């Protein structure tokens, strides 16, 4: 496969779960443009769906008047996806570890764990009054900008 060019796509969605199909489509399309095979493209899509699900449910409280913004940027080294909601933010230290036996049977609470397991980098920024932003990066195998990543 030839080296991918750089590019970006943006999607602004209402806070409703019906938008997840669009999220899956854009994540897969951008991942393929970043040069990922089907397996890695699916990992990116899973992480992006989890981030948008959290933005809709926890961030925006399913308020259709609030939006979720998804930006996918790809370059020869990989893909970066940014998901932003308009919610109040949260305390990352209060998120339970879903692998802890006390929490492993809970019906929810695995989204951040999944994002961290499928992507190479995941960071959160909470801004009171302006929402939460999650930035996730997946590197192409052997890319110069990601050699130390796992």
pLDDT at 107 (0 to 100): 60
4 CB-near residues (< 8 Å, 6+ apart): 33, 34, 35, 74, 75, 76
Separation of alpha carbons 66 and 61, rounded Å? 9
pLDDT at 92 (0 to 100): 64
Mean pLDDT per block of 10 residues along the chain (150 residues) reads: 76 92 94 94 96 93 94 95 90 63 61 90 87 94 54
pLDDT at 1 (0 to 100): 43
pLDDT at 5 (0 to 100): 82
H or E segment to which residue 12 belongs: strand 7-14
Fold of 7-141: Heat Shock Protein 90 (3.30.565)
pLDDT at 111 (0 to 100): 76
pLDDT at 149 (0 to 100): 41
Separation of alpha carbons 112 and 89, rounded Å? 14
């Amino acid at each position: 496969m030839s080296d991918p060019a750089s590019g970006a796509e943006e999607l602004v969605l209402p806070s409703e779960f019906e938008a997840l199909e669009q999220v899956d489509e854009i994540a897969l399309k951008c991942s393929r443009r970043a040069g990922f095979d089907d397996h890695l493209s699916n990992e990116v899509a899973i992480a992006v769906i989890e981030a948008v699900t959290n933005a809709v449910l926890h961030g925006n409280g399913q308020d259709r008047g609030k939006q979720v913004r998804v930006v996918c940027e790809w370059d020869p080294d990989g893909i970066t996806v940014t998901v932003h909601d308009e919610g109040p933010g949260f305390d990352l230290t209060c998120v339970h570890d879903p692998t802890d036996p006390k929490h492993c049977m809970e019906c929810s609470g695995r989204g951040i764990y999944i994002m961290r397991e499928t992507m190479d980098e995941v960071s959160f920024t909470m801004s009171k009054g302006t929402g939460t932003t999650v930035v996730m990066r997946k590197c192409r195998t052997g890319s110069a900008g990601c050699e130390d990543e796992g």
